[in-house]
Amino acid sequence: MRILLVEDDADLQRLLKRALSDAGYVVDAAGDGEEGHFLGDTEPYDAVILDLGLPKMDGVRVLEKWRKAGRTMPVLILTARDRWSDKVAGFDAGADDYLAKPFYTEELLARVRALLRRAAGLATSEIEIGPLRIDTRASRVTLDGNPVKLTSLEYRLLSYLAHHRGKVVSRTELVEHLYDQDFDRDSNTIEVFVGRLRRKLDSNLIQTVRGLGYCLEIPGAARDEDRAKA
């Protein structure tokens, strides 16, 4: 999952970027409103952490412009402004959640997980797909109850597919959400990681849709669902 962090306090930005990266997220960071708006308007993010008191362009204005342009990624406002009127202004501009400074990093991570979970239509932090279980809180994967050891990139790929269970995800989309803006992106590497995951998991869980991309689903589940609706 790829996160945009827009925070002008350099020390706090550094701390949060490290915490988010340690939690398994790909993080792009911006130090002012103009840069943050540009990144959020041109890059695909799964969630945004947005400060309100930003130089060059206020966070509320940034958010308003995103929403007006049709950008729908979930946004968590992070700010020292804790007056109810500031919260109302943030929510009216299109925010999904609000966290006032000072805060605990674990709470911020929990709120980010909740935003991603709601965006994917999931009720809990655990995703179950047949014998596969993904604990997004602990970044832990098990298959038939047995732990599966994954590299950080393998986990990111599996997690992204799991959050889009049953949907075909293109290699281009995977590259855009698994690597930050400075990475030398090559969609061919996705095939390598998919191959590794198939060797570590049930090889039928990740299905290739020729010419379109990949889909994580229990084999035959879509056909069974179609028959049930008939």
Residue 19 and residue 29 in contact, taking contact as beta carbons nearer than 8 Å: no
Our measurement of the distance from residue 15's CA atom to the centroid of its chain's CA atoms, rounded to an integer in Å, reads 19
- The 8-class DSSP code of residue 169 comes to B
178-198 per-position pLDDT tens digit = 877 666 556 678 888 999 999
Give the count of beta carbons closer than 10 Å to the beta carbon of residue 163: 22
What's the rounded mean pLDDT across residues 188-215?
88
Residue 171 and residue 134 in contact, taking contact as beta carbons nearer than 8 Å: no
**Chain position carrying tokens 């390598």:** 192
Give φ, ψ of 145 to 5 degrees.
Answer: 85, -5
CATH fold match for the domains 2-119 and 126-229: no
What's the rounded mean pLDDT across residues 205-212?
89
Query: Which CATH architecture describes the domain 2-119?
Result: 3-Layer(aba) Sandwich (3.40)
- Where along the chain do its domains lie? 2-119, 126-229
Q: Which of 122 and 227 is assigned the larger pLDDT?
A: 122
Please name the fold of domain 126-229.
Arc Repressor Mutant, subunit A (1.10.10)
